[in-house]
Amino acid sequence: MIARFEWTNARSIDDAIGQLSDKAIVKAGGIDLMDRLKEGLDAPSRLVNIRVISGLDYVKEESGWLRIGPMTTLAAIAEHPLIRQRYTALADAALKAATPQIRNMATVGGNLLQRPRCWYFRSDQFHCLRKGGDRCFAQDGENEYHAIFDNNVCAIVHPSAAACALTALGAKVEVKGKNGTREIALDDLFVRPETDITREHVLKANELLTEIRVPAPSNETRSAYTKVGQKESFDWPLAEVAVVLERRAGVVSRASIVLGAAAPAPWRANAAEKRLAGKPLNEQIALEAAAAAMKGATPLSGNAYKIPIFEAVVRRTILAAGQET
C-alpha cells in the first residue's frame, strides 16, 4: 500500500530546490519512481513534480559541448539527428532502453539517477545491505543477472543505458542545490558499494540535476553502443558496451570503453583501452582488447556466462566504432 504524500508542481528550478529535503522526492518522468512507491522502497512526505517546468527538455550544441536538458526523453535523444550523427553511442543506448512507450515518458535525468533493479533489493521479502540489512542475498542466491566486477560487497548492476554511453563520451552533469551549483564528471557521479552501500549517486537531498554536458567529438571520433538481452525488444541487458574511438594516421589515438550490466556503476575497461592505444584497428587487436576487458572479473556462481558474452560484445562494438562513415 502506498503511503500518503503531498504532491506539488514546481514552478521553476529554484522553486523545486526550495522544496527538496530528506523526506521529499523529485518526480521527472516517474517511471522508476512509480515502481519504487508500489514496491515500498520509498515513502516520501512530498513529491516535487518538475515535469511542468518549461525549458528543461532541450538538445543543443554550443561552445564545444552538447547540452541536454534533464527532462529530455529517451525517445527524443534516440531520434535527434545531431545526436545520431555525432554521438551515436548515446542515440543507440537511448533507442535500446525499455519499450517505445517507456522511452516516450522516461527522461534522461531520471534514467541516470534510477535505482538498481536487483530482485532482492526490489522485494520487501529481503532486507538486503542496500536497505540497511546485514547481507547481500545475491552473493549466494540467484545471481545470473548480477555484477561480474566490483561485486564483493553488493552485486547490483547499474541500470542506466544512458550512463554507459555518456560515461564513454566523457560527459559531465550540472547539479544545483541550496548551496549553489557544481559540475560533476560522470566517472565521479556514481557511488560504489564500498564507499556507501545505501546510495548510487553523489547528489544531496537538496540538489537537482539540471543539465548534461558532452564534449563535442573531433572529426576523427566515432562511437558505438551494443546491447545484448534475452528479449532484444525490451529486456534489461545481460551485457551492454559503449565504445568511443579517435583515430589519427591509421592508429587509435584515444579509446574509451565502458561496460554496463557488469558492475554497480558503469565499468571502465581500462586494460582494453590501453590495448587499443597506438594500434591500427583490426579484428585481432579488437579480439585482444575484448579479452583484456574481462581482466579482473569475479563472476558469481550463476553469471560466469557473462564473460564470453561481454568479450563478443566488446569486440563487436570496437569494430563498429571503427567503421568509417
> Would you list the domain boundaries of the chain?
59-114+160-215, 221-321
Instruction: In whole angstroms, give the CA distance from residue 220 to residue 302.
Output: 41
Please report, rounded to a whole number, the percentage of residues in the chain having pLDDT higher than 70. Answer: 98
Collapsed DSSP state (helix, strand, coil) of residue 198: coil
Grade residue 118 by pLDDT with cuts at 50, 70 and 90. Answer: very high
Is domain 59-114+160-215 in CATH 3.30.465.10, yes or no?
yes
Angle at 207 between CA 206 and CA 209, to 5 degrees: 155
Q: Is the backbone of residue 27 left (phi > 0), alpha (psi -120 to 50) or beta?
A: beta
pLDDT at 146 over 90: yes
pTM reported for the whole predicted model = 0.96
CATH architecture assignment, domain 221-321: 2-Layer Sandwich (3.30)
Measure the CA angle with vertex 153, ends 150 and 155; round to 5°. 65
Query: For 30-146, where are the E strands, in sequence order?
Result: 46-49, 59-62, 65-68
191-222 pLDDT, tens digit per residue, is: 999 999 999 999 999 999 999 999 999 999 99
Spatial distance between the Cα atoms of 90 and 88, rounded to a whole number of angstroms: 5
Give residue 262's region: left, alpha or beta (phi > 0; psi -120 to 50): alpha
Q: Work out the average pLDDT over 87-115.
A: 96
Question: Does 221-321 match 59-114+160-215 at the fold level?
Answer: no
Identify the DSSP state of 170. T
Looking at residue 325, its pLDDT comes to: 46
Q: Indicate if the pLDDT at residue 40 is higher than 50.
A: yes
Residue 149 pLDDT > 80, yes or no? Answer: yes
pLDDT band at 324 (very low <50, low <70, confident <90, very high): low
Question: How far apart, in whole angstroms, are the C-alpha atoms of residue 216 and residue 67?
Answer: 10
